[in-house]
Amino acid sequence: MSTPLNQNEGTRIPNPQVLDIENSQLKEEFSTSFHNLEPSMGQALLKEVPKLKEWPHFSGEGEYDHMEFIRRIDMIKEDFELPDRLVTARSNTLFTRSAHRWYIKLRQAHGHQSWNWWKRQIIHKWANVSCRFKLETAFNSAKFNVDKDKALPWFCQQKDRLTELYPDIS
């Protein structure tokens, strides 16, 4: 269950209507979001949506975890044909640490927005020149040490850095 920020006190308060599947308005919205499925299949798929603790979280403090966060949320949204409202309702909990502070400020300034809008804001904030420089520096300074590093994790980290720096690389 998502707990939105109480703007008067700055604390989280429970809001049972945010993700209450039994709420008739949300139930209708969910059933119409499963475009190509029978209503019973849509309800079955909805029951399989991962619980909040199983969703990815984003702290804003990793090298390139913003793109992994976006990809994973997009995959969940696509796999379960979730409406934007369900994804964005969970944002208050999915963002942690410095990303949560950033999210609260943007949410207060711009109000409820679509998941696509939030993706653009995440990329704008965390895929900037400074982050790119840090990523390039980390890639260039990483030296494989046979005694210290395991080959596969080191290689995968370098590959992820390259993919983030040059998305069209093959």
Residues of the chain with pLDDT under 50: 1-23
Helix H or strand E encompassing 4:
none
Number of alpha carbons in the 13 Å side-chain half-sphere of residue 84: 8
The label of the residue with tokens 């990303």 reads 99
- The closest alpha carbon to 126, from 68, 54, 55, belongs to 68
Q: So what's the pLDDT on residue 155? A: 92
Q: So what's the pLDDT on residue 134? A: 81
What does the CA dihedral 73, 74, 75, 76 come to, rounded to 10 degrees? Answer: 50
pTM, 2 dp: 0.61
Residue 31's contacts (CB-CB under 8 Å, 6 or more residues apart) are 39, 42, 43
Q: So what's the pLDDT on residue 29? A: 54
